[in-house]
Amino acid sequence: MVQPGVSIGEDAIIGAGSVVTRAVGAGVTVAGSPAPPLVSSG
C-alpha cells in the first residue's frame, strides 16, 4: 500500500504487501510495514 501523496522514484522496487509512508528514491528497494530502504542501486 502506498499512502496518498507518496512518490516512488524510477526503477524503485516495492515489496509485496509493503506499507510505504515516505518517498522512495530512484533505484531503491523497500519492503515491510512500514517499508524501510533495504538496497540502493544508485
Task: For residue range 15-24, list pLDDT tens digits in order.
Answer: 999 999 999 9
Amino acid 29: pLDDT: 96
Q: Could you tell me if 21 and 28 are in contact, meaning their C-beta atoms sit under 8 angstroms apart? A: no
- pLDDT value for 12: 96
Q: Edge-to-edge, what's the strand order for the sheet holding 37-40?
A: 13-14, 28-30, 37-40
Dump pLDDT digits (tens) for 1-42.
999 999 999 999 999 999 999 999 999 999 999 998 898 876
- Locate the domains of the chain by residue range: 1-42
End-to-end CA distance of the chain: 24
Beta bridge partners of 37: 30
- The H or E element that residue 13 is part of is strand 13-14
